[in-house]
Structure 1
Amino acid sequence: MPRLAPLAKPYPPEAAAELAQMPADIGLFRTVAHNPRVLSRWRGGGLLDRGSITLRQRELLILRTTARLKAEYEWGVHVGFFGAKAKFSEAEIVATVHGDASDWNAEEAVLVEMADALVDSGTVDDALWQQAAAHYKADQLIEIIALVGFYHLVSFTVNATGVALEPGAPRFPAAQ
């Protein structure tokens, strides 16, 4: 049961204006719409456009971050919307939740390690930074950090407010 129910139609005018600009009608956005200013900032600060890293790299970071933070809602939404576009295999989807860096190629393993380090400690050590810098340019490193940070915020929001899982969205897989 949600702690904060998503807004229902008819929406207050300011919330309706913000929700009309969101990419999907999902519970998360309708929950955050309790504060249209915050929803506006989320939309303005969104990182789902074409960035300096590939869609697959972006989604790996998001899936790993949300899985580590036990945000099943957001993990499932991203698997459902982007999993096929990112060309993740079923084993890779499972690895975003239950795997480690050894489940990925060297370039993707760095992303998993970056997400894990940022979730665990809020930083990365020098050795991991050097490893990441060997694969990614400065603008990409900033985007990697920003994605993990933004999806930390999203995970906090869905977990704290109790946003109900979207109908038909994937659930966390069982460990294999």
Structure 2
Amino acid sequence: MPRLEPLPAECWDDAVQAALSPLLPAERANPRDAGNVLGTLVHHPELTRAYLTFNAHLLVSSTLSPRVREVALLRAVQVRPCEYLWDHHIPIAQRTGLSAAEIDAIRAGDPQHPVDRLVVRAVDELNESNTLSDPVWSELRAHFDERQLMDLIFTIGCYQLLGAAVNVLGIQPEAS
């Protein structure tokens, strides 16, 4: 059950439009096209704009490949469960080339691809201990440069934070 409904259409103003601008083009910054997450977050336009500036970097400008980003993101919202974000990102993950079997393996924590397996291990370790062990860090350094490592860590944290917000606020999936 929603604890906070998306902002009613009659309350959408210039501040809401500005809040969505880091991530959405103007033609999608409306109650119909923004979706329930963004439609709910805009109750606090300043926070939404700050968050979406950060989130847009991770989605659009990250140094990670889209595939690695989606592996990390999916595992992050699996170990700290957020079904809304899991379901929302399945088609995005598929567009990056992840197959249904690979997505199922990420959910199970047992991907076959070596880099996917390492990313899942990093997500799990961060979730369990809020840090990375030296062996995992060393393995990650063999595959990713410093900026990619930072984007990886922040992608995991960003989506676990968003998942918590979605769960606490009771944001519901969009009607089909």
Task: With the length of structure 1 as denominator, give the TM-score of the two structures.
Answer: 0.86
2:66 to 21, 44, 55: 55
Q: Which deviates more from structure 2 when the two are superposed, residues 8-17 or residues 124-133?
A: 8-17
Equivalences for residues 32-51 of structure 1 within 5 A: 32-46=41-55, 47-51=58-62
Aligned residue number for residue 118 of structure 2: 110
Q: Which of 78, 84, 87 is the matching residue for 1:76? A: 87
Q: Does 1:92 align with 2:93?
A: no
- Quick check: which one's helix share is greater? 2
Cα-to-partner distance string for 1:9-47 (whole Å, 9 max, x where unaligned): 022422244246643511111111111011101121121
Aligned amino acid, residue 43 of structure 2? H
Supply the AA of the counterpart residue of 1:164.
Q
Q: Which runs of 4+ in 1 moved over 4 A?
A: none
Give the superposition deviation at 1:86.
1.1
Task: Please tell me whether the aligned partners of residues 117 and 124 of structure 1 are also in contact (alpha carbons under 8 angstroms).
Answer: yes
Q: Distance in 2 between matches of 1:9 and 1:96?
A: 38
How far has the Cα of 1:155 moved from its partner?
A: 0.8
Amino acid at match of 2:104: V
Q: Is the 8 A contact 1:65 1:115 kept in 2?
A: yes
Identity of aligned residues (%): 29
| Aligned equivalent of 2:27 | none
> Could you tell me which residue of structure 1 aligns to residue 152 of structure 2?
144
* Matched residue, 2:29: none
Q: Counterparts of 2:127 and 2:35 in 1: how far apart (Å)? A: 25
Q: Report whether the alignment pairs 1:157 with 2:158.
A: no
1:91 partner amino acid: A
